[in-house]
């Protein structure tokens, strides 16, 4: 099982894929939502509880999330996303699930062939690959895209990712 996550304070998208050498199927997808009326610590707690529940229910072998970034135009948004990413990394560590952060450009390039692909192109790509008749959110589509990239990396690459995380003591 692979868990893909698209970090966000208002919506953190998630997708669970069952992955093997010859089969790929969607198990579950959705978003964990937080109230914009709540204080930041409350919102991070809601995300933590929801993500922990995902780890407990889906029991993934591997997780991935879109790497967070900060733009010069919106530095506070980047800091908030980093806090959300920290919650996700903590939940993964607490559940002993290896997690990999994947740059957005790699995700887009892997699925669309173009690192600056638009969100609509990502959504169409995941629909096509998984043969979905679905008009879900961009958050769900991005989480599916993360899970697909982990699947495409294959067992050897995933093993290398896990080993590099352990040997470099990244996220520990």
Give the range of the structural domain holding residue 134, as residue numbers without chain letter: 2-167
Question: Could you tell me if residue 114 is inside a domain?
Answer: yes
CA 133 – CA 9 distance, rounded (Å): 27
Phi first, then psi: what are they for 114, rounded to 5°? Answer: -145, 120
The mean pLDDT value for 134-158 works out to 78
Question: Could you tell me if residue 172 is inside a domain?
Answer: no
In this predicted structure, the answer to whether residue 10 has a pLDDT above a threshold of 70 is yes
Question: Could you tell me if residue 108 is inside a domain?
Answer: yes
The mean pLDDT value for 12-41 works out to 90
Instruction: Give the rounded percent of residues in the chain with a pLDDT score beyond 90.
Output: 44
What are the b/e assignments for 34-62, b being 16+ CB within 10 Å? Answer: beeeeeeeebbebbbebbbebbeebebeb
Q: What is the pTM of this model?
A: 0.82
Q: How far apart are the first and last CA of the chain?
A: 22
Q: How many helices (H) and strands (E) does the chain have?
A: 5, 5
In this predicted structure, the answer to whether residue 96 has a pLDDT above a threshold of 80 is yes
The total number of structural domains that make up the chain:
1
Given this model, what pLDDT does residue 154 score? Answer: 67
Indicate the SS3 state at residue 71: coil
Please give the DSSP secondary-structure letter assigned to residue 85.
Answer: H
Which of 62-71, 93-102, 130-139 is the least confident region? 130-139
Q: What is the CATH number of the domain that holds 94?
A: 3.30.420.10
CA 104 – CA 114 distance, rounded (Å): 11
In this predicted structure, the answer to whether residue 69 has a pLDDT above a threshold of 90 is no
CA-to-CA dists, residue 29 to 50, 90, 138, 142, 171, angstroms: 13, 21, 12, 11, 25
Question: Could you tell me if residue 89 is inside a domain?
Answer: yes
Question: Could you tell me if residue 100 is inside a domain?
Answer: yes
Question: Could you tell me if residue 113 is inside a domain?
Answer: yes
């Amino acid at each position: 099982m692979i868990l893909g996550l698209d970090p966000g304070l208002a919506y953190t998208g998630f997708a669970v894929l069952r992955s093997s050498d010859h089969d790929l199927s969607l198990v579950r997808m959705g978003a964990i939502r937080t109230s914009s009326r709540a204080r930041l610590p409350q919102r991070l707690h809601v995300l933590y509880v929801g993500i922990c529940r995902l780890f407990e229910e889906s029991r993934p072998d591997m997780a991935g999330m879109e790497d967070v970034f900060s733009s010069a135009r919106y530095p506070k948004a980047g800091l908030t996303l980093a806090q959300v990413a920290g919650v996700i990394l903590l939940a993964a560590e607490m559940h002993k699930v290896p997690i990999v952060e994947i740059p957005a450009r790699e995700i887009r390039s892997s699925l669309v062939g173009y690192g600056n692909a638009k969100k609509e192109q990502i959504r169409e790509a995941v629909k096509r690959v998984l043969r979905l008749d679905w008009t879900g959110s961009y958050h769900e589509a991005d989480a599916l895209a993360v899970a697909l990239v982990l699947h495409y990396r294959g067992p050897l690459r995933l093993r290398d990712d896990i080993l590099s995380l352990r040997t470099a003591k990244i996220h520990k």
